[in-house]
Chains A and B, each alone.
Chain A
Amino acid sequence: MAKTLIHAVVLGGFSMATAALLAGGNLVTAPEIELRQSEDLQTSLSQVLPARLYDNKLLADALSIAGGDGTPVKVYRGLKAGAVTGVAYEIAGNGYGGEVRLILGLDAEGKILGVRPLKHSETPGLGDKVDPAKTDWITRFTGRSLGDPDVEKWKVKKDGGDFDQFSGATITPRAVVGAIRGGLQFFAAHKAEILGPAPTTASRENP
């Protein structure tokens, strides 16, 4: 009995000490980590929303709109003189190696300013050609919109659409083109909300 008690005390002591250490570590690192993450987000947003289009803080002026499957989509809006000039949000498709997450930037008319992959685990040498570091395939969407081509042509050529897949890989381009099509449809469905009045200056200055 006494022995069991010792074990309990030892393990309990260890648990408390490690919990205290972890809590302390979290307190120290949490603000830094948050800062790094918003830097990362800012970097990926700047790839699809040219800086000349807006003069506000993108991260502070984000909207949350329920997407097609009910999950909220964070829409970052670029504003100039109070009017929405460009928006960016995350889209995703199912690739060969799991989810392919991309960021899509559109101007106020719904024309694509840019698309960039954020995270993917596609096969090296095949599906990873969506990565702008490997090929410039992903840049072909710039300037396109839902009418250009028509919605039923927003597919890879193999499925009767307008966009080239790349040699040896169809699943990844299919996922990417599908995700962009979904993103454009999302914009069309929520245009009023997305382009709605800008938040007041007061709320913008207190992120």
Chain B
Amino acid sequence: MAVSYRDIVKAGVWEQNAVLGQMLSLCPTMAVTSGATNGLGMGLATMTVLALTNLLVAGLRSFITPEVRIPAFVLIIATVVTLVEMSLNAWLHELYKVLGLFVPLIVVNCLILGRAESFASKQPVLPSIVDGLAMGAGFSLALTLIGAIREILGSGTLFANASVMLGPAFSFLEMKVIPDYQGMLVMILPPGGFLTVGFLLAGKRALEARAGKRRAAAALDGPACHAVD
């Protein structure tokens, strides 16, 4: 089955968004999103791993017999994550100190195994890389958004310490949204993560319901053959 790149990107970023569409990877989501910077960092790290594992799985898929595919995928994923972790520690040590705890968590991120199983093992290399990048971008967007909401409400800042993680060039991202703000502690703690994800999920559902209604209305007005769509 051929899939258009447009559909892949649309599915990855919006329709099947890892967190807000498929409800996958909630564990790292809750753990890292106490700030927008951490969310973005974890998202980008996951995106890198996902593109690499999708590339490897798609490239090696003809050698992997269906019966042993799951252990083979797990081996590939664990290897890539470990290599990424070691390289971060050696060459991007500042970033590693911020993300270090979370990088090994990527191994158990079900999104990675999920994409290997449901996409990369059935598709050629190039669409698989695009799928990895799109899913990773959607994950990064969701994590950054959740992190931003929690950070603004919880500590009144946005992208604090972005320059530590991404380099001094990104210090323009750091801002103090609410000056002299005492902070809503609950938003920084794990319950704040659940609250934020809940409201975002509801928001996404509402948007989709509205779009669906509009499409139904348009179909009623338009030619009959479109109604099947």
Q: Which residues of chain A have a CB within 8 Å of any CB of chain B? A: 6-7, 10-11, 14-15, 18, 21-22, 25-26, 28-29, 32-33, 36, 39-40, 123-126
Determine chain A's interface SS by DSSP, over half rule: helix
Q: Which residue of B lies closest to A6 (CB)?
A: B65
Determine chain B's interface SS by DSSP, over half rule: helix
Q: Indicate if the CB atoms of B78 and A18 lie closer than 8 Å.
A: yes
Q: Indicate if the CB atoms of B75 and A125 lie closer than 8 Å.
A: no
Question: What string of 1s and 0s marks CB contacts (under 8 Å) between B24-48 and chain A?
Answer: 0000000000100000000000000
**Chain A nearest Cβ from B213, distance in angstroms:** 42
Q: Indicate if the CB atoms of B71 and A11 lie closer than 8 Å.
A: yes
Checking B65, B75, B76, B90 against A29 with a beta-carbon cut-off of 8 angstroms, the contacting residue is: B90
**Chain B nearest Cβ from A183, distance in angstroms:** 25
Q: Indicate if the CB atoms of B64 and A15 lie closer than 8 Å.
A: no
- Report how far A123 CA is from B71 CA in the complex, Å: 39
Q: Indicate if the CB atoms of B75 and A15 lie closer than 8 Å.
A: yes
* B183 interface hit (Cβ, 8 Å): yes
6 of the cross-chain contacts (CB-CB < 8 Å) are A10-B72, A14-B75, A18-B76, A33-B90, A123-B185, A124-B185
| Residues of chain B lying within 8 A (CB to CB) of residue A29 | 86-87, 89-90
Checking A18, A32, A124 against B188 with a beta-carbon cut-off of 8 angstroms, the contacting residue is: A124
In the complex, chain B residues 29-85 whose Cβ is within 8 Å of any chain A Cβ: 34, 63-65, 67-68, 71-72, 75-76, 78-79, 82-83
Q: Indicate if the CB atoms of B91 and A25 lie closer than 8 Å.
A: no
- Report how far A33 CA is from B100 CA in the complex, Å: 13
* Chain B residues with a Cβ closer than 8 Å to the other chain, count: 27
Q: Indicate if the CB atoms of B89 and A125 lie closer than 8 Å.
A: no
| Residues of chain B lying within 8 A (CB to CB) of residue A39 | 93
Please report the number of residue pairs spanning A and B whose Cβ atoms sit closer than 8 angstroms.
59
Q: Indicate if the CB atoms of A11 and B86 lie closer than 8 Å.
A: no
- Report how far A124 CA is from B191 CA in the complex, Å: 13
Q: Which residue of A lies closest to B82 (CB)?
A: A22
Checking B87, B97, B155, B185 against A25 with a beta-carbon cut-off of 8 angstroms, the contacting residue is: B87
Q: Indicate if the CB atoms of A25 and B34 lie closer than 8 Å.
A: no
- Report how far A22 CA is from B75 CA in the complex, Å: 11
Q: Indicate if the CB atoms of B75 and A10 lie closer than 8 Å.
A: no
Checking A7, A22, A126 against B83 with a beta-carbon cut-off of 8 angstroms, the contacting residue is: A22
| Residues of chain B lying within 8 A (CB to CB) of residue A22 | 79, 82-83
Q: Indicate if the CB atoms of B189 and A32 lie closer than 8 Å.
A: no
| Residues of chain B lying within 8 A (CB to CB) of residue A124 | 34, 154-155, 185, 188-189
With A22-B83, A124-B34 already in contact, the answer to whether A7 and B65 are too (CB < 8 A) is yes
**Chain B nearest Cβ from A204, distance in angstroms:** 27
| Residues of chain A lying within 8 A (CB to CB) of residue B75 | 14-15, 18
